[in-house]
Amino acid sequence: MEVPSTKDFHWKTLAPLPSGRVYCSLVEAGGQVFAIGGCDDNGVPMNCFEVYSPEANQWNSLLPMPTARAGVAVATLGKRIMVIGGVGMNQTPLKIVEMYNIDDGKWKKRNSLREASMGISVTVKDYRVYAAGGMGLDLRPHNYMQHYDMLKDIWVSLATMPTPRYAATSFLRGTTIYVLGGRQSKYAINAFEVFDTETRSWTKFPSIPSKRAFSSFVPTENNLFSLGGLRQGRLYRQPKFMKTVDVFDIEQGGWMKMDRSSFLKKRRADFVAGYLKGRVIVAGGLGNQPTVLESTEAFHPGKNKWESLPPMPTPRCTCSSIVVKNCLLAVGGVNQGLSDAVEALCVSDS
C-alpha cells in the first residue's frame, strides 16, 4: 500500500481551549469534536463541555455537565453523547452516568453503574455500550464487563474479564472487542484478552511482550501496535523510558518478532498516538530530556522503520487526542503548567 511521505505531514495550530486542562475526554459526532470535563490547574475536576467546529475553527461552550469530573469514559450513540464514571470533586470514582442530546442541547441522568468506577474502557457496537474494567472506591481493579441497553436504560452484567484492571485500551473489530494492557494499583499489566459480543465469552490472547506504563496502543487494518512507555522501577530497578514497539498480527493471532531497527527513534511515554493514511504516528510526551518532547515520528510499513516528521508547535505530554478527517488532534495537556493548546497533525493528498 502506498503511504504518504514525510513531506505530506504538517501541523496546524487551531483555536485554543477556553482554559488549560488535563484528563479531558474527546469524542467526535457529526464532524464536530466535543471536549468533556477534565482537571484544572489545581487538580479540581471540571464540569465544562465544549464543542469545536473545524469549519469555523472555534470552540463554543455548551450546557455544562451536571457532574464535574475528569477522565470519564465517553461513547457516542447517534446524536447522543454518554458520559460514564470518572473522578469526581472529592478525587474519588463516580457511578454517575449522564447523556447529552446534541439536538435539544440538554443533559439527562441515566441509570448509574452498579459501582463507582474510574478508568473504564468503552466500545460501542450496534447502539450498545460495552464497559470493561475500572477501579472502585476501594482502589481495587474491576473485572466487570457490562453493556448498557439504551432502550431499557439498564446495565447488563456479562461474563467477567479474566484479568481485573483499569485504564485498559479497547478496540472493536467486527464482533470482537480487544482489551489490552491497563493497570492494577500503580503497576502496568500486559494482559491481552478478547471478548466475543456474539457468544459473550472471553478468550485469553498472548500477553503483550513487555509491561510498560503510559504506553500507547494503535490499531491498523491488520495489526495492533504497542508503543513506547515507561518501564516501571521495582526494588533494584530504575524506571526507564522505552522506545520498544510490539506488533500483534490480528490474522495470525500472535506477536511479531520485532527488530530493534523498527523501534521508535526517541524514548517516550505519555504521548499522543494515532493512525493516519497507513502510517502510525507518535508525538510529544515525556522522555529522558528534562523537558517535554516536541518530536513527532511516523512508521513506514514498507521500510519497517520510523521517520521524523515536523515537531509539535507546543511540546506537551498528557494530551487528550482524537483522529478526525485525516488529522490527529492534540488537545490540552501539560507543558510547564497546564496547556490550552490545540494542534492538529494533518496529512495532505500529495
Average pLDDT over residues 3-13: 96
Rg of the chain's alpha carbons, rounded to an integer?
A: 19
The predicted pLDDT at position 282 comes to: 99
The predicted pLDDT at position 221 comes to: 94
pLDDT > 70? residue 350: no
pLDDT per position as a tens digit, 76-100: 999 999 999 999 999 999 999 999 9
The predicted pLDDT at position 239 comes to: 85
User: pTM for this one?
Assistant: 0.96
pLDDT > 90? residue 349: no
**C-alpha cell at position 327:** 488529522
The CA–CA distances, whole Å, from 314 to 214, 279, 296, 343 equal: 20, 22, 12, 8
The predicted pLDDT at position 37 comes to: 98
Whole-number percent of the chain with pLDDT over 70: 99
- In Å, how far from its chain's centre is CA 280? 15
The predicted pLDDT at position 311 comes to: 98
Homologous superfamily (CATH) of 6-347 is Kelch-type beta propeller (2.120.10.80)
Closest CA to 18 of 47, 45, 50, 44: 50
141 — pLDDT class (breaks 50, 70, 90) = very high
Instruction: Please state, in angstroms and rounded to a whole number, the distance separating the CA atoms of residues 177 and 261.
Output: 31
Average pLDDT over residues 295-305: 96
The predicted pLDDT at position 315 comes to: 98
Backbone torsion region of residue 47, taken as left when φ is above 0, otherwise alpha when ψ lies between -120 and 50, otherwise beta: alpha
Average pLDDT, the chain: 96
Average pLDDT over residues 35-44: 96
Average pLDDT over residues 259-279: 96
Domain positions in the chain are 6-347
289 — pLDDT class (breaks 50, 70, 90) = confident
The contacts of residue 30 (CB under 8 Å, 6+ apart) are 79, 102
| Residues 272 and 284 sit within 8 Å (Cβ to Cβ) | yes
For the sheet with 320-324, list strands across it.
Answer: 9-13, 342-347, 327-331, 320-324
pLDDT per position as a tens digit, 94-134: 999 999 999 999 999 999 999 999 999 999 999 899 999 99
